[in-house]
Structure formats: structure tokens, C-alpha cells
């Protein structure tokens, strides 16, 4: 069995460069790293596997996503309406019903695929959105005006791009 190994991405690395340096084809490297959804978006500190999954499973577990190992859960279960009702008891049934599909799609897309991850995600969403009831920040956004660190570059961006969504994303 081949030995498990990986490369830690440094500034200037590309998948093609890493593949060449390790006598691998780009396709083989991509196949060894299904956690990399966009080959153009690797970052310093990321781990790129240089060995097949069989070699890694024994030493490192069988999954590696971006910066952290991701637990696999082949028995992933979407959240049910009844579970949402118990988590957010003051939120109307119709509101919960309208949020159920989008929440489950987001959890599936972003590998929030274990009960612990689901609990953490729903706790954060619940806190930020007052139990799925607010998707717009109360504050006027004046404090964000001119904040280039948030991407606000135009007059009025602070108000226009104040906290929004279930996770209250702030900035342009």
C-alpha cells in the first residue's frame, strides 16, 4: 500500500505546479482531493493529498476538507419540521416551513453533515436571526459607512450592506 502524504500549500502554489513537482497528473491530483471544489481557490496552509484515499484512511481518516478534517456521515439526515419547531418554538410554523428547504440545502452544500455540525449551525443561525425571525440588522448601518475592510466603497454602502441574511453578513 502506498504511504500517505500531503503537501501544505504555500504562496504561489497552484494545483498544476504541485502535480508537476510530485510527478502526478493534474487529473490524478484532483481525484485524490475531492475536497477541492475549485482548483483555482487553494490557499496557503491548505493540505493537498499526494496519495490515494486507501493510503490515507489508515493514518489520517478518510476525509480531509480544506483546513480541517471533515467527519463523514453516510447516514446524513436532513432536519425535520418537528425538529425546527423544538429548536425555534416561538417562530411560526409557516416561517419554519418556508425555511426548512433552504436550511437543509445549505447544510448539504456546505457539508454540515453530522448532528454536531447541524446543532452548531442552527444555534448560530438562531442567534443571528432571532430564531429565524430577522434577516435584516436592526442598526442603521451608519457604523459601517466607509468601512473598506467590509468592502464598502461607495457612499451609502454602510446602510445598503448592513447585516443581512440568517447569518447577518455585513458589508458589500
Say which CATH number the domain at 32 has: 3.10.350.10
Give the list of residues 6+ apart from residue 48 with CB closer than 8 angstroms, or none: 6, 7, 8, 9, 15, 18, 29, 33, 36, 42
> Tell me: the pLDDT tens digits for 102-158?
999 988 888 888 888 999 999 998 888 888 887 766 677 777 777 878 787 888 776
Reported pTM = 0.51
Residue 144 · residue 152 · CB < 8 Å? yes
Q: List the grid coordinates of 17.
A: 505546479
List, for residues 15-43, the tens digit of each pLDDT value: 999 999 999 999 999 888 888 888 788 88
Residue 68, helix vs strand vs coil: strand
Number of domains in the chain: 2
- Domain range for 96: 81-128
C-alpha torsion 168→124→115→88, nearest 10? -100
Residue 106 lies in a domain: yes
Residue at 33 is within a domain:
yes
On whether residue 136 sits in a domain, the answer given is no
Amino acid at each position: 500500500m502506498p504511504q500517505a502524504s500531503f503537501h501544505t500549500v504555500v504562496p504561489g502554489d497552484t494545483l498544476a505546479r504541485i502535480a508537476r513537482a510530485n510527478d502526478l497528473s493534474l487529473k490524478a491530483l484532483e481525484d485524490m482531493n475531492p475536497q477541492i471544489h475549485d482548483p483555482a481557490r487553494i490557499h496557503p496552509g491548505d493540505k493537498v493529498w499526494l496519495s490515494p484515499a486507501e493510503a490515507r484512511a489508515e493514518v489520517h481518516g478518510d476525509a480531509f476538507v480544506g483546513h480541517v478534517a471533515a467527519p463523514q456521515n453516510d447516514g446524513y439526515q436532513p432536519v425535520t419540521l418537528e425538529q425546527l419547531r423544538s429548536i425555534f418554538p416561538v417562530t411560526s410554523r409557516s416561517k419554519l416551513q418556508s425555511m426548512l428547504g433552504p436550511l437543509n440545502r445549505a447544510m448539504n452544500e456546505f457539508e454540515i453533515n453530522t448532528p454536531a455540525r447541524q446543532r452548531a449551525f442552527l444555534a448560530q443561525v438562531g442567534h443571528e436571526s432571532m430564531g429565524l425571525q430577522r434577516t435584516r440588522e436592526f442598526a442603521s448601518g451608519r457604523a459601517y459607512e466607509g468601512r473598506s475592510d467590509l468592502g464598502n466603497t461607495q457612499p451609502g454602502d454602510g446602510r445598503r450592506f448592513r447585516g443581512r441574511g440568517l447569518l447577518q453578513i455585513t458589508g458589500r
